[in-house]
Amino acid sequence: MTPTSIADLCEAVRPLLTTVPLALAATCGFTQRRRCLTADLFCQSLVFGWLACPDGSLEHLARTGAGAGAAVSAQAWHQRFGASAADLLRGVLEAAVQQVISGQAVPLPVLARFAVVLLVDSTTVALPAALADLWRGCGGGHQASDGAAALKVSVAYDLVGGRLWGLSLAHGRTHDRAAAPRLDLPPGSLLIRDRGYFSLAALRSWSGLGVHYLSRPQSNVAVFRAGERWTLAAFLGRRRLTAGGPPLDIEVELGAEERLPVRLLAWRVPSTVCRRRRAALRKAAKKKGQPVSAHALALAAYYILVTDLAPEQLSAKEAEALYRARWQIELLFKLWKSEGGLARSRSRQPQRILCEVYAKLLALVLAHWCLLAGGLWADPRRSLLKAFQHLRCWAVALLTAFAEPVRFRACLADLARGWSCGCRVNTRRARPNTWQLLL
């Protein structure tokens, strides 16, 4: 896929924060009469303002908006945070995720074998109970209102070119498989997902489309070898694996009905890791008032993966390193919540909180696009945290330059030059970084 240049990014972002909100404003009820705070300035000020300071007050938004041309008071901003504003921001966010923005492919040989190496996962944002009709949560907690409302954000994230292949919103109580964004992957792609997305029928469907997979299996899946049926724990127990020894690498079939042929990889984990896993299982079971099964305790001694790739396509060591790279999407969510302030608000008003979630998601998507167009993705040693912190320093300057395409493009170019210095992770000997393992 052709990398997106800074000029291309400008062409994509400008209508997204001008034409799109103005077109949506009348249909969602945001604009009922001519105002100083128009829909486009409202979106631009929120996106760049909260990008610069995720915990910014209404006064911060008023100062930021004045720099963009919306010179209104903090009280005027307070009055604009209603249901129509939330609908406006959600509409702009939905338009944003349809954009195709990709960075230059990272030069790592193990990733170059695939057209796309896609990580899929989700994170949940708690919302006020008053929003339960819009976004239902899972419940639970000490009070009846705890967990009543929540938003599940599912993301598909490419390790090769950095593209966000999908971002979808769902009720907090929705299962991961149902909440996952719809994907149209090219043949030769590799899909990496956690156990919560495991489905034998889905894996068979992906294989039929030429898309490979690397996943952890469900613990209760049936294993067939030479016509004999096993539980996963019993099958691994017969192999007598040792911690630090060679992994099990064997062809089996999974599923009592599916009987899907897969390559099963398994490692025996160190005793300290096993004890920690079993303690976590017992603690979780005690909290639910349920006993821990002997099968679950036995599986805690193993690290298990399944794939349809042959050993000559992906060795066991490479598979282990690639699946460990799945943690990069967890770090993306951590970045969004800690640095981007996605899960926090200084307000207690439900509609303003909802506006914050949509606007901050939009700002984070835009920030990710800037990282890709700025050429940062091509460096395997990149630090998204350091790059995002650098971007935040430029957010207000980007807003004031936004009205003039030439200035905005020049501002993005100056920002990108800063990423070439001081935005790398440090090499570690004891616990290698993901990029070190992939190299």
Q: Going by DSSP bridges, is the β-strand pair 248-254/302-307 parallel, antiparallel, or unpaired?
A: unpaired
Reported as a pLDDT band with limits 50, 70 and 90, residue 432 is: confident
Residue 23 is predicted with a pLDDT of 92
Q: Going by DSSP bridges, is the β-strand pair 190-193/212-215 parallel, antiparallel, or unpaired?
A: parallel
Pick the range with the lowest mean pLDDT from 205-214, 284-293, 301-310, 394-403. 284-293
Mean pLDDT of 164-172: 93
Asked if residue 34 has pLDDT above 70, the reply is no
Reported as a pLDDT band with limits 50, 70 and 90, residue 145 is: low
Mean pLDDT of 175-202: 92
Residues near 211 by beta carbon (within 8 Å), at least 6 away in sequence: 185, 187, 188, 189, 190, 191
The reported pTM is 0.92
Mind listing the pLDDT tens digit for each residue in 369-396? 999 999 889 888 889 999 999 999 999 9
Residue 296 is predicted with a pLDDT of 92
Asked if residue 269 has pLDDT above 90, the reply is yes
Residue 424 is predicted with a pLDDT of 86
Asked if residue 177 has pLDDT above 80, the reply is yes
Mean pLDDT of the chain: 91
Asked if residue 144 has pLDDT above 60, the reply is no
> What are the C-alpha distances in Å from 28 to residues 330, 361, 371?
34, 19, 32
Structural element, H or E, at residue 370: helix 350-373
- The span from the CA of 426 to the CA of 416, in Å, is 20
Asked if residue 299 has pLDDT above 90, the reply is yes
Mind listing the pLDDT tens digit for each residue in 318-344? 999 999 999 999 999 999 999 999 999
Reported as a pLDDT band with limits 50, 70 and 90, residue 153 is: very high
Reported as a pLDDT band with limits 50, 70 and 90, residue 423 is: confident
Please choose, from the candidates 284, 223, 289, 232, the residue with its C-alpha nearest in 3D space to the C-alpha of residue 254: 223
Asked if residue 430 has pLDDT above 60, the reply is yes
Q: Going by DSSP bridges, is the β-strand pair 260-268/248-254 parallel, antiparallel, or unpaired?
A: antiparallel
Asked if residue 1 has pLDDT above 70, the reply is no
Mean pLDDT of 349-353: 94
pLDDT cut 70: percent of the chain above it: 97
Asked if residue 196 lies in contact with residue 176, where contact means CB atoms within 8 angstroms, the answer is yes
Q: Going by DSSP bridges, is the β-strand pair 117-127/212-215 parallel, antiparallel, or unpaired?
A: unpaired
- The span from the CA of 416 to the CA of 412, in Å, is 6
> What are the C-alpha distances in Å from 427 to residues 111, 317, 424, 431?
20, 20, 9, 9
Asked if residue 366 has pLDDT above 70, the reply is yes
Residue 314 is predicted with a pLDDT of 95
Query: What own/partner pairs with CB < 8 Å and gap ≥ 24 does 291-296 have?
Result: 294/233, 295/219, 295/220, 295/231, 295/232, 295/233, 296/219
Mind listing the pLDDT tens digit for each residue in 68-103? 888 888 898 898 899 999 999 999 999 999 998 999
Residue 240 is predicted with a pLDDT of 87
Structural element, H or E, at residue 383: none
Asked if residue 358 lies in contact with residue 18, where contact means CB atoms within 8 angstroms, the answer is no
Rg of the chain over all Cα atoms, to the nearest angstrom = 24
